[in-house]
Structure 1
Amino acid sequence: MDPLVHFLDGPHARRAFALRVAMSPPWALDVRDGAPLTIMAVLSGYAWLTADGDTVRLSAGDIAMVRAGDPYLVADEPLRGASIVIHPGQECTTLSGEPVRLSMSHGVRTWGNTAEGETTMLIGTYESDAEIGSAVTAALPRTAVVPSGEINAALLQLLADEISTDAPGQGSIIDRMLDVLLVHALRAWTAAHPDRTTGWLSAGADPVVGEALELLHTHPADPWTLGSLAGRVNVSRATLAARFRSSVGEPPMTYLANWRMLLASELLADARRTTARIAAEVGYGSPFALSTAFKRRFGVSPTEYRRRKYSASA
């Protein structure tokens, strides 16, 4: 089983925040957006990334994947004090709270303290775990860096060109290209760090867990229990539970519940699908049962989630 196939088939970017950032010294960004995952690709120059006390220098061609957590710093020098704060919703202000998003704009999806900076970066942010999925982020460390040369430069250039273009359908094109870049980055990082690969991305190394995941992903609506799943992969309940938790980081039924919620959140984008239909497609016996589980997971009902997230972009 290839877990990246399931990422491409499941929840993915939808109107993701994507930007070309151009900066010249001195500069420092205090990122407090709380986004589940951000991809940062350096096109030219360099940048220092500091998260959880660890600092890494990113050079041209390097790609960093940053998980949600405490605020982190991106700057031209590792000890530079922040001058700009990135808030949830990608609102940008000075330290005193003065908005700068518009004043630092330099054309289509280009932002920074200068139009053509010494350092240029592509920033792609998955702003909801319904877009990226907890299964992806849980498999990564706080920061994962893919060095220059591991990702085809043509892919980065194509994404850079698309981000700087304003044409019909551009948002969807950028979303899909961001997903492709993420898959390439995940693949390169896991190949280079097999000893650090955990959770969902490492599950394919265990054939029993891999087969179990294949069944859950392919047939999420089936009335799975630990016993029925163990029977399908020909091991005992105890063996499956232990091996699944060791590989994926959570019990099989917990994983299934999370996967069903992420699929439901994606299916809500289709206005033709009723809540009852979605409930059946993801394994809930009634719209009420789905709504209860969904509200517990996302804090709002499926109907409200659809209105907030998808109506505005319809």
Structure 2
Amino acid sequence: MDTLTGLLDGPRARGAFLLRTVLEPPFALRIQDRAPLTLVTLVRGAAQIIHDTPVGLEPGDVAVIRGPEPYTVADDPSTPWQTIIGPGQVCTTVDGVPKEHLGVRSWGDPAGAGTEMITGTYQVESEVSRRLLGALPTVLVQPAAATDRTLVRLLAAEMSGNDPGQALVLDRLLDLLLVSVLRAWLAGPDTGVPGWHRAGRDPIVGPALRLLHSAPASPWTVATLAARAGVSRSLLARRFTELVGEPPMAYLTGWRLILAADLLRSPDATLEAVARQVGYGSAFALSAAFKRERGVSPQQFRQRTPEEHFTAYAPAPSPVVVLA
């Protein structure tokens, strides 16, 4: 697989929370749901996402918001909070009074309000996808002119019905919308795109990265990797470190442990089996590497809740990015 496919395969919606919200200005929603990733697309009206820096949304814009830190969606930064959205997408007033839904997947003021938006919330637990999340800006906005309007229309139309299999269809449409925004971001030249993605397009490093991703359990050395990539050992080592930011074997170690962390979430997976799948000769070798990298043993890692997993490795804040 290519590097991007491997990373995008993680953030896949499974019963994602989708909601159509209609609001009459002035409005201000304080989002405290701790979700790792949220998509917001504005259907009509105007809104601002207020994290560290307010960023405006116009009809057709799609925003990808990286959690788990709280943020505000409002008509204006000065509007006081009126609604709190907490974990589990529980909506209350600022005084804690529950807010009623307008109907299936719909909430807010009566139909016909000035602002309408669709929100899709992921509960991402994959370590692989966290590598991608860690590179994302806090808020990533794709303008309407660059957005696939067909996907947005299909998503809105599907949410208005209640046909069999609706949840599955909505999950896949949400995935497609997310991937379309991420691809546009990764294709940009100056939007904080991570080095490992740029390296994937390099004629020397790209083949080596694909080999590591497709066969992480193979007994790679810099020499065998260089031979398979058709370049000298010294050239690959120098170029890989320059573009990716770390030597090939250090990158491989990190990738193996990311995959191991995902596999360890399965209660049926033994440490010995996980070690073999990711290229370690024994459970002891994997356990030592895992604790050295993560600061906890595989057993302690398994005992953490999904919230603890995400909080422990939550990425540092980064700026808002508005795509051209």
TM-score higher than 0.5: yes
User: Which amino acid in 2 is paired with 1:178?
Assistant: L
1:33-77 CA-partner distances (Å, limit 9, x unpaired): 22221111111111111112x111100010111112532111011
Aligned to 1:207: 203
Aligned to 2:318: none
Aligned to 1:33: 33
Give the CA deviation at 1:263: 5.0
Residues of 2 paired with 1:262 and 1:184: CA distance?
Answer: 27
Q: Provide the TM-score with structure 2 as the length reference.
A: 0.75
Once the two structures are aligned, what percentage of the paired residues are identical? Answer: 40
Aligned to 1:142: 138
1:94-118 CA-partner distances (Å, limit 9, x unpaired): 2222332xx1x12221122334432
Is 1:16 aligned with 2:16?
yes
Name which of structure 1's ranges 59-68 and 209-218 shifts more when overlaid on structure 2: 209-218
Aligned to 1:43: 43
Residues of 1 paired with 2:164 and 2:299: CA distance?
Answer: 31
Aligned to 1:216: 212
Give the CA deviation at 1:134: 1.3
Residues of 2 paired with 1:217 and 1:192: CA distance?
Answer: 23
Provide the secondary structure at the position in 1 that maps to 2:182: helix
Contact 1:43 1:122 in 2 (8 A): yes
Give the CA deviation at 1:162: 2.1
Aligned to 1:311: none
Contact 1:22 1:117 in 2 (8 A): yes
1:155 pairs with one of 151, 162, 168: 151
Aligned to 2:310: none
Residues of 2 paired with 1:74 and 1:287: CA distance?
Answer: 47
Provide the secondary structure at the position in 2 that maps to 1:217: helix
Contact 2:49 2:56 in 1 (8 A): yes
Residues of 1 paired with 2:167 and 2:285: CA distance?
Answer: 34
Give the CA deviation at 1:30: 1.1
Give the CA deviation at 1:78: 2.0
Q: Provide the TM-score with structure 1 as the length reference.
A: 0.77
User: Which amino acid in 1 is paired with 2:63?
Assistant: A
Contact 2:196 2:243 in 1 (8 A): no
Residues of 1 paired with 2:121 and 2:158: CA distance?
Answer: 16
* Change in 2 beyond 3 A, CA 1:11/1:229: farther
User: Which amino acid in 2 is paired with 1:162?
Assistant: E
User: Which amino acid in 2 is paired with 1:210?
Assistant: G
- Give me the CA root mean square deviation: 3.6
Residues of 1 paired with 2:166 and 2:8: CA distance?
Answer: 19
Residues of 2 paired with 1:30 and 1:296: CA distance?
Answer: 37
Is 1:128 aligned with 2:124?
yes
Provide the secondary structure at the position in 2 that maps to 1:171: helix
Residues of 1 paired with 2:286 and 2:246: CA distance?
Answer: 28
Give the CA deviation at 1:185: 0.6
Aligned to 1:252: 251
Provide the secondary structure at the position in 2 that maps to 1:141: coil
Give the CA deviation at 1:221: 3.2
List aligned pairs for 1:156-175, cutoff 5 A: 156-175=152-171
Contact 1:199 1:247 in 2 (8 A): no
Contact 1:67 1:137 in 2 (8 A): yes
* Change in 2 beyond 3 A, CA 1:33/1:299: farther
Structure number with larger C-alpha Rg: 2
Give the CA deviation at 1:140: 1.7
Residues of 2 paired with 1:97 and 1:59: CA distance?
Answer: 30
Question: Structure 1 regions of 5+ residues with no counterpart?
Answer: 306-314
Aligned to 1:301: 302
* Change in 2 beyond 3 A, CA 1:56/1:10: closer
Provide the secondary structure at the position in 2 that maps to 1:43: strand
Provide the secondary structure at the position in 2 that maps to 1:106: strand
Give the CA deviation at 1:123: 1.0
Give the CA deviation at 1:296: 5.3
Residues of 2 paired with 1:67 and 1:219: CA distance?
Answer: 30
Give the CA deviation at 1:153: 0.9
* Change in 2 beyond 3 A, CA 1:29/1:57: same
* Change in 2 beyond 3 A, CA 1:152/1:245: closer
